[in-house]
Every structure is written in structure tokens, then in C-alpha cells.
């Protein structure tokens, strides 16, 4: 596949403090860019990262016809570089594309251009445990038009950031509260698509949660406001007795790839995993009965994010005395060991670049 490559004259990598990386504020030297016009994806380009010229009438700015993904590239101890489950990210990108009327992309185009970008940016992949190169593919409508309609033209890009932990808590438990007023999504809406609207919907309630001293919102379903959907930045799991329970993919929540990895690993360990609706009242009740053993979020950026406290309607529960649960720790160790090539990749999740 022919890709045009225009490299920067001088890399900015020497100015980056790799010891103090925050999530998402340092960007590597290059971007991948592919335009869509005349009903097809055009020649891919790798270009210097920098400002883009757009018209104020860009339709995606007005109506949000935009989708994105989040993947990670890892450097193993022996220097080998791999991407975690890009095939699943490609499937989800196309699923989001269908919901937002954005053209799909072949796996060949997706993986070949991703591979080329990673090769060009390989120096940006941190070489220490807990760090990775976060890859952000996204597609947005580029017609300049103010009527509400499906765009004829698009741009697909990948930007990348060297990152550490997503939450400042790292592997320390986060705290969550429900939102009395707002919902994230309802079945039939956009909830299962990875599209900015879902994240925009979370900003105000997340700010309110922060003002009350919590890390994030735990979303309840948009109809009965009773059943737990997800955390917004991650999916969620509950260990009750010896069962690992996670809300089902009912159309309102994101089909997380780390969610799928956790289900697969847990089943492989012989843990019974149940995808079913679980109400916030049941979680509080199970905690009361000392049957709630662990709660954690799962996501590409956050990996495994233990939950130490939940507030709902003025009542609070503390899980594991606010400390990381055994399963959260074991699952984090297992998934990251596979990602960093320290354990056998028996599910074939690592896509090796070289």
C-alpha cells in the first residue's frame, strides 16, 4: 500500500519529560491522515503533527458526525513492539461508523496505515512498565454545509500520545457517585457507538461529581434509573460471592475491548462470569451482606481501575476498606503482563509490529 510520508525536520521528543507523563497532553511528531471523497478512501499520508486548516462551516463541528477509537502500542522488555487487539478496535470503529453514517474502512487499510505510523513513531513508545503509546484514530465529516445531512467527505486521522495511568489515582481505587439528574445514553441512541456526543453528555455530571469530591459518575440506565450501565470512561465489573457480574451489551453501553479481555481471562481462570442487569440497590444490598468482594472499571486508557467508594442518594459504601481488591490487582497484573509480552499471549491478542 502506497503511503506518502512527510517527516518533521527536528523531532520534539528530546523536550518531553517521560518521567512526568499525564494522560493525553503530549503528542508525538506525526499524524496519519486519510481523506474520503468521491466515494472512496484516498492515498494515506503521514504528516507532521500541527494545526489544521478548516472552514467554520465544517459539518462535524455543528452536528457531531464524528467517531473515534483508543488503542495502545507497547514495548516489551526485549524491545519488541505490539498493539493490543487492533482487530477488535477496527470492528468497533466500523460499528460506530455504521451508526453515524460514516464510511467504513477495510481492515487492510486500517492495519497497514496503523503499522506504518507506529514504525515512524517507534521512538515515542515508552520503554517502562505502566507506560505505552496511546493511539487515537478518529474520523470526522468534512463537508462545509449547514443543513443536517450525511456528509460526502471525511477525514480519518491517528494521533498518538505517550501515556501512563489514565486516572491520577493510578491503581489506587477511584470513587464514584450516581447523577440524580442526568443520563448518559438510552438503548437505541448513541450509547454503544464511540462518538464524542457520549463524552460531551458526561462533562457536566462529571464536573458535579468532582465538586462533590468523587472521581467520576457511575451511570444508571436512562429509563428506570435503577440499573448500572458503565462509568463513562470505562465498563464496570462486580465480584459478588464468587461470580463476576457485568452489565450486558444492551445497546446503551460501549462494547469495551478490555471488558471482553477481562471476561475471557476470568472464564479461563474458572470464574463464573455473568452478563446481566445489576441495580445500584443490589450492589448496596450485597455490600450490606458482606457479599460484595470487588468492583473495578475496564477500559483501554484506564486498563483496570479499582473502585473504592460509591455514593447514591446520600448513602455511601466503601469497598475493600478503600483498598484495591485481590481480583482487580490479579486482573491488572495478568492483562498488562500479556500486553508487555511477559506472559504467553494464549488468546493471540498482541499484533506484533516487529
Footprint on this chain of ligand COI (rule: CB under 6 A): 70, 233, 299-301
* Minimum distance from residue 67 beta carbon to ligand COI (Å): 11
* Minimum distance from residue 89 beta carbon to ligand COI (Å): 9
215 in Cβ contact with 169 (< 8 Å): yes
* Minimum distance from residue 38 beta carbon to ligand COI (Å): 31
Residue with Cβ nearer ligand COI (203 or 313): 203
Residue with Cβ nearer ligand COI (175 or 300): 300
* Minimum distance from residue 24 beta carbon to ligand COI (Å): 7
Residue with Cβ nearer ligand COI (265 or 304): 304
Residue with Cβ nearer ligand COI (166 or 227): 166
* Minimum distance from residue 70 beta carbon to ligand COI (Å): 2
Residue with Cβ nearer ligand COI (65 or 216): 216
Residue with Cβ nearer ligand COI (175 or 234): 234
* Minimum distance from residue 284 beta carbon to ligand COI (Å): 26
Tell me which residue has its CB nearest to ligand COI.
70
Amino acid at each position: 500500500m502506497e503511503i506518502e510520508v512527510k517527516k518533521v525536520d527536528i523531532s520534539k521528543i528530546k523536550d518531553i519529560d517521560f518521567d512526568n507523563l499525564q494522560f493525553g497532553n503530549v503528542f508525538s511528531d506525526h499524524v496519519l491522515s486519510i481523506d474520503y471523497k468521491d466515494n472512496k478512501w484516498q492515498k494515506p499520508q503521514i504528516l507532521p503533527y500541527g494545526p489544521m486548516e478548516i472552514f467554520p462551516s465544517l459539518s462535524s463541528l455543528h452536528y457531531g458526525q464524528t467517531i473515534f477509537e483508543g488503542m495502545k502500542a507497547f514495548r516489551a522488555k526485549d524491545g519488541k513492539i505490539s498493539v493490543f487487539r487492533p482487530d477488535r478496535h477496527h470492528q468497533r470503529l466500523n460499528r460506530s461508523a455504521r451508526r453515524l453514517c460514516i464510511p467504513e474502512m477495510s481492515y487492510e487499510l486500517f492495519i497497514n496505515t496503523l503499522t506504518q505510523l507506529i514504525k515512524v513513531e517507534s521512538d515515542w513508545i515508552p520503554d517502562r512498565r505502566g507506560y505505552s503509546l496511546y493511539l487515537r484514530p478518529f474520523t470526522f465529516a468534512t463537508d462545509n454545509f449547514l443543513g443536517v445531512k450525511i456528509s460526502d467527505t471525511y477525514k480519518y486521522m491517528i494521533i498518538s500520545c505517550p501515556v501512563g495511568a489514565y486516572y491520577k489515582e493510578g491503581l489506587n481505587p477511584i470513587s464514584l457517585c450516581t447523577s440524580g439528574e442526568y443520563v448518559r445514553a438510552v438503548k437505541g441512541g448513541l450509547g454503544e457507538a464511540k462518538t464524542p456526543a457520549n463524552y460531551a453528555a458526561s462533562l457536566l455530571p462529571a464536573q458535579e461529581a468532582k465538586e462533590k469530591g468523587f472521581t467520576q459518575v457511575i451511570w444508571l440506565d436512562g429509563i428506570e434509573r435503577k440499573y448500572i450501565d458503565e462509568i463513562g470512561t470505562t465498563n464496570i465489573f462486580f465480584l459478588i460471592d464468587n461470580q463476576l457480574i457485568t452489565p450486558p451489551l444492551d445497546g446503551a453501553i460501549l462494547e469495551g475491548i478490555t471488558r471482553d479481555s477481562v471476561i475471557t481471562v476470568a472464564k479461563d481462570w474458572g470464574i463464573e462470569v455473568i452478563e446481566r442487569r445489576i441495580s445500584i440497590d443490589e450492589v448496596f444490598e450485597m455490600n450490606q451482606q458482606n457479599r460484595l468482594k470487588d468492583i473495578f472499571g475496564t477500559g483501554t486508557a484506564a486498563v483496570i481501575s479499582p473502585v473504592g467508594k460509591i455514593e447514591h442518594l446520600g448513602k455511601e459504601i466503601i469497598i475493600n476498606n478503600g483498598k484495591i481488591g485481590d481480583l482487580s490487582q490479579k486482573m491488572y497484573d495478568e492483562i498488562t503482563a500479556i500486553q508487555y509480552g511477559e506472559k504467553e499471549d494464549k488468546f493471540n491478542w498482541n499484533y506484533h509490529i516487529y
